[in-house]
A and B are shown apart, each in its own frame.
Chain A
Amino acid sequence: MPPKGSRKSASSLPTQTLVLDNGAYTLKSGLVPAGSSNLAYDGCTVTPNCIARSSRDKRTYVSSELSKCADFGELAFRRPVEKGFIVNWEAEKAIWEHEFLDSKAKEGLRCDPRETNLLLTEKPNCPSLLQKNCDEIVFEQFEFARYYRCVGPTLNAYHPAQPNSLSSLPQECLLIIDTSYSDTTILPLYSGQLIQSALRRLTVGGKLLTNYLKELSSLRHYNMMEETYLLNEIKEAVSFVAPSAQQFGQNLERTWKGRLGDKRNLDPTIVLDYVLPDYEQSIHGYARPHDPAKSRMRRGLQPLQGPREDLLPLGNERFAVPELLFHPTDIGIQENGLPEAIMQSVGLLPEALKVGMLANVVVVGGNSLIPGFMERLESDLRALVPAEYYLNISRAEDPVKHTWLGAARLASQPELLKEVLVDKAEYDERGSGWLARKFAGGDTK
Chain B
Amino acid sequence: MPHVEVLPNSASVSAPGWTYVVDTGYDPSKAPINPKDRKRAAARTQGRRGDNELTARQQTAIARRIAELDRDNDPKQQIAIPGKNVPAKTANARRIIQSARQIKHWLDEEEALAQLAPAPRTAATSSRAPPSRKLSTVPPTPAETTPGPTSGFMTPLPREDIDPLLSIEKTMAPPLSESELDALLSAPPLSYAESFATLPAGGPPQRQFCDNCGYWGKIKCLKCGARICGLECKDAHESTRCLKWA
Interface residues of A (CB under 8 A from B): 24, 51-53, 60, 62, 76-79, 81-83, 85, 87-91, 93-94, 97, 124-130, 133, 136-137, 140-141, 143, 182, 185-186, 190, 193, 195-203, 207-208, 211-212, 215-216, 219-220, 252, 256-257, 259-260, 315-317, 320, 327, 329-336, 340-341, 344-345, 348-355, 388, 440-441
A-B contact list, 29 entries, CB within 8 Å: A51-B81, A52-B79, A76-B79, A82-B103, A97-B86, A125-B191, A125-B195, A128-B113, A129-B106, A129-B109, A140-B92, A140-B93, A141-B89, A190-B181, A195-B185, A195-B187, A197-B142, A198-B141, A202-B196, A211-B68, A219-B212, A252-B214, A316-B215, A327-B207, A332-B62, A333-B66, A334-B198, A336-B197, A348-B138
Given A127-B107, A259-B232, A260-B232; A334-B214 close (CB under 8 Å): no
State the Cβ distance, A337 to closest chain B Cβ, in Å. Answer: 9
Given A197-B139, A331-B66, A353-B176; A320-B97 close (CB under 8 Å): no
Q: Which residues of B contact A76 (CB under 8 A)?
A: 74, 77, 79
| Complex: A77 Cα to B78 Cα, angstroms | 9
Asked whether B49 is an interface residue with its Cβ less than 8 Å from the other chain, the reply is no
Residue of A nearest to B137 (CB): A344
State the Cβ distance, B152 to closest chain A Cβ, in Å. Answer: 14
Q: Which residues of A contact B96 (CB under 8 A)?
A: 89, 133, 136-137
| Complex: A256 Cα to B213 Cα, angstroms | 8
Asked whether B80 is an interface residue with its Cβ less than 8 Å from the other chain, the reply is yes
Interface-facing stretch out of B4-12, B35-43, B156-164, B167-175: B167-175
Given A53-B79, A141-B89, A141-B97; A216-B231 close (CB under 8 Å): no
| Complex: A83 Cα to B184 Cα, angstroms | 26
State the Cβ distance, B71 to closest chain A Cβ, in Å. Answer: 8
Q: Which residues of A contact B240 (CB under 8 A)?
A: 219
Q: B192 to A127, Cβ gap below 8 A?
A: yes
Asked whether B151 is an interface residue with its Cβ less than 8 Å from the other chain, the reply is no
Q: A94 to B83, Cβ gap below 8 A?
A: yes
Q: Which 8 pairs from chain A and chain B are nearest by CB?
A: A341-B197, A82-B103, A351-B173, A332-B62, A127-B110, A78-B79, A141-B93, A352-B173
In this complex, the member of B72, B89, B175, B209 whose beta carbon has the largest number of chain A beta carbons within 10 angstroms is B72
| Complex: A388 Cα to B77 Cα, angstroms | 55
| Complex: A135 Cα to B2 Cα, angstroms | 91
Interface bits B56-67 vs A (CB < 8 Å: 1, else 0): 000000100110
Asked whether B101 is an interface residue with its Cβ less than 8 Å from the other chain, the reply is yes
Decide if the interface of chain B is mainly helix, strand, loop or mixed: loop
Q: B88 to A207, Cβ gap below 8 A?
A: no
State the Cβ distance, A181 to closest chain B Cβ, in Å. Answer: 9
Asked whether B225 is an interface residue with its Cβ less than 8 Å from the other chain, the reply is no
Residue of A nearest to B200 (CB): A336
9 new A-B contacts at CB < 8 Å, known A127-B107, A129-B110, A257-B232? A87-B103, A125-B190, A220-B212, A256-B213, A256-B229, A260-B230, A329-B199, A335-B196, A336-B199
| Complex: A350 Cα to B189 Cα, angstroms | 18
Residue of A nearest to B69 (CB): A211
Given A199-B195, A352-B175; A83-B72 close (CB under 8 Å): yes
Q: B106 to A197, Cβ gap below 8 A?
A: no
Asked whether B99 is an interface residue with its Cβ less than 8 Å from the other chain, the reply is yes
- The number of chain B residues with a CB under 8 A from chain A is 77
Asked whether B143 is an interface residue with its Cβ less than 8 Å from the other chain, the reply is yes
| Complex: A349 Cα to B177 Cα, angstroms | 12
Interface residues of B (CB under 8 A from A): 54, 62, 65-66, 68-74, 77, 79-83, 86, 88-90, 92-93, 96-99, 101-103, 106-107, 109-110, 113, 138-139, 141-143, 171, 173-176, 180-181, 184-192, 194-200, 206-207, 209, 212-216, 229-232, 240-241
Q: B109 to A127, Cβ gap below 8 A?
A: yes
| Complex: A83 Cα to B104 Cα, angstroms | 10
State the Cβ distance, B102 to closest chain A Cβ, in Å. Answer: 6
Cβ contact of B89, chosen from A128, A140, A199, cutoff 8 A: A140
| Complex: A12 Cα to B67 Cα, angstroms | 47
Q: B92 to A208, Cβ gap below 8 A?
A: no
Residue of B nearest to A351 (CB): B173
Q: Which residues of B contact A440 (CB under 8 A)?
A: 189
Residue of B nearest to A342 (CB): B197
Q: B198 to A336, Cβ gap below 8 A?
A: yes
| Complex: A317 Cα to B215 Cα, angstroms | 10
In this complex, the member of B68, B89, B101, B106 whose beta carbon has the largest number of chain A beta carbons within 10 angstroms is B106
Cβ contact of A352, chosen from B109, B176, B185, cutoff 8 A: B176
Given A193-B185, A316-B214; A219-B206 close (CB under 8 Å): no
Q: Which residues of A contact B69 (CB under 8 A)?
A: 208, 211-212, 215, 331
Q: Which residues of B contact A129 (CB under 8 A)?
A: 106, 109-110, 113
Given A190-B185, A195-B185, A220-B213; A207-B70 close (CB under 8 Å): yes
Q: Which residues of A contact B106 (CB under 8 A)?
A: 85, 87, 127, 129-130
Q: A354 to B173, Cβ gap below 8 A?
A: yes
Q: B90 to A140, Cβ gap below 8 A?
A: yes
State the Cβ distance, B201 to closest chain A Cβ, in Å. Answer: 11
Q: A331 to B65, Cβ gap below 8 A?
A: yes
State the Cβ distance, B195 to closest chain A Cβ, in Å. Answer: 5
| Complex: A345 Cα to B173 Cα, angstroms | 18
Cβ contact of B176, chosen from A62, A199, A335, A350, cutoff 8 A: A350
State the Cβ distance, A183 to closest chain B Cβ, in Å. Answer: 8
